[in-house]
Amino acid sequence: MYVLSQLNLLLLLFVTIFCNITFYEHDKINDEDPLQYTWSILVSLRYDCQHKNDPITHCCSGTILTESYILTAADCVDSLPKDTSLANVTVAARIDNRSELGQIIRYVDQIIIHPNWKNDHNGRKHNIALLHLSTSLDFTVNKYVTRIRRPTSSSLLQDILKYPSNSTRLLTIELDRAKKHFDSTPYVNLQQYEVSLVDNNDPICHKLIYDVEQQFCIRLYDAVKDACNHKSGQPILQWIDNYWMQKLLNNESYSLTYSECFYFA
């Protein structure tokens, strides 16, 4: 589970570049349902995380890094046994808001946690993990399954690594497994939220963040449900060069009120 090959270390380095960047603020676009199969990079990580003997419980989100690797948060998987077959961990791709029919299911046969991952009284650091799939995804067969977009030039990579300006468009995507109102058929509720930048000297975030090199802050407002009741591993994306490029993982929260929550990574 924790043994890192040279390839895995390179992948983790690539992931770290995209995940160790800055701060943000708020705003949910209420009830914004993405178009069908809009977010083909997104997967649902499933195992019996609630200890209810339900191995298809949606526990966290993840994004498709390559045909064989999924990017998620370390806190989603650090409690799992080293033998992943004992935990029956799967990911579901080809996510649609309307039904679980047609989803592509893959088993996880290896979990690779960032070697510097920490979860202590100071909070979480390097909250990154890679999941290796026992059977690779085939992007040529299904157009609704794709990997996160990679920088095509060094200048584009530099744009991704920059601290975003105040006008930067940011987006986060959330998955939540629920049940339909008219019957008991389960489905995945897919929502997208717009997020905008907050200066790292903002008085609220400044009090909450202890490491500006490793953490960022967004504020999410949700008047309908507990704003902190969101899963780890969901991506934050930036609009760069006419594409949504993943910059961060949304993976730790701090509640101020029922409807307002600050997230960290």
pLDDT at 237: 77
Residue pair 197/166 in contact by the 8 Å Cβ criterion: yes
Q: Which residue has the tokens 């799967």?
A: 90
Long-range contacts, stretch 2-8, CB < 8 angstroms, 24+ apart: 2/82, 2/112, 2/113, 2/115, 4/112, 4/115, 8/112, 8/130
- Residue that wins the pLDDT comparison between 24 and 187: 187
- Check pLDDT > 70 for residue 90: yes
- Mean pLDDT of all residues belonging to the chain: 70
51-60 mean pLDDT: 89
Q: Confidence band (pLDDT; 50, 70, 90) for 256?
A: very low
**How many C-beta neighbours within 10 Å does residue 30 have?**
11
Q: What's residue 262's pLDDT?
A: 52
Q: What is the pLDDT of residue 107?
A: 96
- Round to whole Å and give the CA distance between 100 and 62: 17
Q: Among the ranges 62-71, 149-158, 169-178, 203-212, which has the highest mean pLDDT value?
A: 62-71
pLDDT of residue 125: 75
Does 207 score more than 60 pLDDT?
Answer: yes
Is residue 103 pLDDT above 60, yes or no?
yes
**What is the model's pTM?**
0.75
Q: What confidence tier does 42 reach under pLDDT thresholds 50, 70, 90?
A: confident
Nearest to 28 by CA among 171, 232, 240: 171
Mean pLDDT (whole number) for 117-132: 81
Domain 6-264 in CATH 1.20.1630.10? The answer is: no
> Does position 123 have pLDDT exceeding 70, yes or no?
no
Domain boundaries, the chain: 6-264
pLDDT (average), residues 146-163: 64
pLDDT band at 132 (very low <50, low <70, confident <90, very high): very high
Question: Based on the number of CB atoms within 10 Å of its own CB, is 122 exposed (0-12), middle (13-18) or buried (19 or more)?
Answer: exposed
